[in-house]
Structure 1
Amino acid sequence: MKTATTVDSMPVQQQAKAKRPVMSERAWIATGSVLLLILFLALWQWGPAMLGMPEFILPNFTRTMQEAVVMWNNADLLSHFAITAMEVVVGFGLGSLLGLGVGVALGLSPRAEAMLSPYILALQIAPKVAFAPLFVMWLGYTVYPKIIVAILIVFFPVMINVLSAIRTVDPDMVNLVRTLNASRWQIFHLVEFRSATPALFSGLRIASTLAVIGVTVGELVGGNKGLGFLLVDGEGQGNTAAVFVTILALTLIGIAAYGAVVWAERKVLHYLPKVATTTV
């Protein structure tokens, strides 16, 4: 009787052949992404001239990069970039921790959820832009209003994902661990929290991009430092290229934050199938 052959039992050469389709698939995806980027940059470089758009409406790629060099040398672009990045990291971290704590607490206590959910929902519905001027009046033109706005925006997606995940934990798994005389902490640590971890990272992915929006809103409303300040300054001077440079810088921060969450997710959830841990 023939037994099924697994990849681990194959010789080294056969294992390499078995892995080639995966590597070629990754190479194909990477090549496609690079080609799309080249196409986008080409359209950005020559598209405005082909459409007859003046430079003050839509500067091309070369003009934008020239302005980036000017801002780097004269407008202290790196310092403003670092300030905004710091605010994003702090706001994202604190908002995520707050959302995780509240989500766990409400998930384990249906009574507390019933009492607090209307107020949490009202806080989420209220436009965060309306809070930004208030925080500026209270705390002045410091980094704190921007961080608080980021916390408010980050909080809800993390909280609701964790809450939903803990509420949908398999009760049979909980009962099984109870039969082994597990304590309440062990039940939470081994079953409830581990079951909620994939949903937690899904919320963190969303929150990582929202944190950039929150900080930018705070800097637009009341900031004298950061990329939001450069955005307002470029708009006030009618410098469209500077506005594009600032938008690109904010995009880089968002990509870095999202990439950090994806990296952490792969490290923490390495035991799950890739389809369950990777959506992008």
Structure 2
Amino acid sequence: MDTATSITPAMSTPAKAAPLLSEKTRTVLGSLLVLAIFLAAWEWGPGALGMPEFILPRFSRVLQESLFMWKNSDLLGHFGITAMEVVIGFALGSLLGLAVGVALGLSPRAEAMLSPYILALQIAPKVAFAPLFVMWLGYTIYPKIIVAVLIVFFPVMINVLSAIRTVDPDMVNLVRTLNASRWQIFCLVEFRSAMPALFSGLRIASTLAVIGVTVGELVGGNQGLGFLLVDGEGQGNTAAVFVAICALTLTGIVTYGAVVWAERRVLHYLPKAATSTK
């Protein structure tokens, strides 16, 4: 007696092949590809569009000018001066914003009294203060640092203030039931809760510090990248202006990167959802 049997071969699901490149590597390669496309467009785009050199110099021309300025115009020295002013202005403005933000966050009455004046200081254009600082302090590094401090101060202060005000009251009450002192409550709960917001403000401030220093150097500077920018503009040297702009951009990128690096180290022990860095 024949019995028709249907034999179904066992099908095994093949294991999913591991990606050749990690997600981080693909991201880096994609970013480098975008940079390569941008530089290629900068190099050959002006010529293809018939754009003269004094309007938009080629990338290779800017590189040549940067080497010339490195050897003959002390580009490295001017870069170091601007970087020093950015670091000092960023540090002082951040510390001042942190102190005022904490003080106002812990004292609603003080915030109500001082907030109109702080807001007025923020609304007033910082460019208008730069010539005044130059008249007071001369052609030194101090006017540039003060302008940077004024610009950096507000974003740090407002972020810290908002974070202090939005601390979970249940956490404060919990620590208070353990007989914690006022200082311990601040250190263990309020300040730790404000750290993600603090670093968010520092990220913004790191880019604004470069703007503040540049404004000061444009208005009344005899050294620094802002001075080189004005000097190149006065000579009609567009390539030199681009060199100064690229150097200022590099300064801002390094400053921002330092803040991100510090954020990852300091907020390493906080939950991922509480940090602004993934």
Residue 152 of structure 1 corresponds to 150
How far apart are the structure 1 equivalents of 2:273 and 2:216?
A: 36
Taking structure 2 as the reference length, the TM-score comes to 0.92
SS in 2 for 1:269: helix
Instruction: Show structure 2 runs of 5+ residues with no match.
Output: 1-14
Residue 3 of structure 2 corresponds to none
1:115 aligns with 2:145: no
Instruction: Report the AA paired with residue 77 of structure 1.
Output: L
Residue 80 of structure 1 corresponds to 78
Shift of 1:41: 0.4
Output the aligned Cα RMSD. 1.7
How far apart are the structure 1 equivalents of 2:96 and 2:180?
A: 27
Residue 12 of structure 1 corresponds to none
Which digits, 9 at most, give the CA deviation of each residue in 1:194-219, with x for residues without a partner? 00000000000000000000000000
Residue 136 of structure 2 corresponds to 138
1:163 aligns with 2:161: yes
Residue 248 of structure 2 corresponds to 250
Q: Which has the larger radius of gyration?
A: 2
Shift of 1:271: 1.9
Shift of 1:277: 3.0
How far apart are the structure 1 equivalents of 2:275 and 2:66?
A: 36
How far apart are the structure 2 equivalents of 1:186 and 1:22?
A: 50
Shift of 1:276: 4.5
How far apart are the structure 2 equivalents of 1:193 and 1:276?
A: 14
How far apart are the structure 1 equivalents of 2:88 and 2:272?
A: 29
Instruction: Report the AA paired with residue 86 of structure 2.
Output: V
SS in 2 for 1:270: helix
Query: Residue 68 of structure 1 is aligned with which of 66, 69, 74?
Result: 66
SS in 2 for 1:169: coil
Instruction: Report the AA paired with residue 60 of structure 1.
Output: R
Query: 1:1-280 residue pairs with structure 2 within 5 A?
Result: 24-274=22-272, 276-278=274-276
SS in 1 for 2:183: helix
Which digits, 9 at most, give the CA deviation of each residue in 1:110-168, with x for residues without a partner? 00000000000000000000000000000000000000000000000000000000000
Change (3 A) 1:82 1:125: same
Shift of 1:274: 4.5
Instruction: Report the identity percentage.
Output: 82
